[in-house]
A = this chain, B = another copy of it.
Amino acid sequence: MPPSVSVFGSAGFTGALAARLLDRHPSFELVALTARSDVGRRLDELYPHHRVPRELEALDIDRHGEVEAAVVAYPHGAAAPLVAQLRAREVRVVDLSADFRLRDPAVYSRWYREHQAPELLADAVYGLPERYREQIRGADLVANPGCYPTATLLALAPLAREGLIGEVIVDAKSGVSGAGRTPSEKTHFVTADENVNAYGVPHHRHIPEIEQELAELGANVRITFVPHLVPLDQGELVSCYVTLPAGASLPDLDGLYAEAYADEPFVELAAGPPGVRDVRETNICRISAHHDERTGRVIVFAAIDNLWKGAASQAVQNLNVMFGLREAEGIGVGASEQREAIR
């Protein structure tokens, strides 16, 4: 009997995608989709291409809390109280908000607001499987990383572990789906089309999350991080400019990255700079690393689909790890993957 799972907050882009992936997942039983808007409508009215013919329900925690697992796709701040209710019912949770990503509630309150469930922070595991796979296995509360931190940390981890990050600047480019489903001037087609510009300058909220995790890897740096909006729907590229610490010598980048990711099913190394098209609608992070001998810097690019590896499919990856399933189940793309699943 497959574990039961519900998606809380299914009307938004990431919740809806999580619902789609779990609806077709061979080893989970999708029970319910709750939503804070569009209650009573079917998900395939809102998102025909997801083809999930299920109704969105208003939250009824007593009823909806009767599941083994939950994906919570609420906004920052709104997520924590719901997660607390679910945890009180012993539901194992993957939370897509920022609420449980920062270990220090003081940092959280500086960048967001006062934390609504600080007592749960100690239990939360940062849900980047390539980094915390073992801890996720036993976790009851997994804080799914932000899209930018996912790409940035996968890009930088091999360097950080080797003590090779002196300074780092991250210039990120994201498709418009990253701004969410709510219509606004920013997401209006006529604003975003034929345009590129930076936003969240200079203090985007993903900064403390990236710095926290780089520090865990041994790199205590203050980063400059600037995201830009580009005219495409799904996809995200981070361009990381690393200055080595004084005295450090340039590593064999190819060897370093090949070794770091040899066994990772969802990290792909590319010879040249990756394009976001290469990873569209996949759980894959595609990376290339380059020496700039003129300046001694290292340049690393990482491309992901912000809605997939940057949110919903990574949530499913985390669920797979938490429940002891094959990690690629329900989110794999390769031939071997599908054949293995089927035979």
Instruction: Provide the A269-297 mask, 1 if CB < 8 A to any CB of B, else 0.
Output: 01011111111111000100011111101
Bound CA–CA A335/B24 (angstroms): 4
A41 on interface, CB distance cutoff 8 Å? no
B-contacting residues, A279-326, CB 8 Å: 279-282, 286, 290-295, 297, 299, 301, 303
Residue in B49, B239, B279 whose beta carbon sits within 8 Å of that of A277 in the complex: B49
Q: Is A256 in contact with chain B by the CB < 8 A criterion?
A: no
Q: How many copies does the complex hold?
A: 4
Contact with B along A211-253 (1 / 0, CB 8 A): 0000000000011101010111111010101010000000000
B196 touches A49 (CB 8 A): no
A79 CB to nearest B CB, Å: 22
A62 at the interface (CB under 8 A from B): no
Smallest beta-carbon distance A278→chain B, Å: 4
Q: Contact: A237 with B228, CB < 8 Å?
A: yes
Other-chain residue from B202, B270, B275 in contact with A292 (beta carbon distance below 8 A): B202
Which B residues touch A223, using CB under 8 A?
295
Q: Which residue of B lies closest to A47 (CB)?
A: B278
Which residues of chain B are near A63, meaning CB under 8 Å?
Answer: none
Which of A92-100, A142-150, A181-189 binds B?
A181-189
Excluding A49-B278, A197-B274, 13 further A-B contacts by CB distance (< 8 Å) are: A24-B334, A24-B337, A24-B338, A26-B343, A173-B228, A181-B188, A188-B188, A189-B191, A193-B233, A197-B273, A202-B293, A202-B299, A224-B241
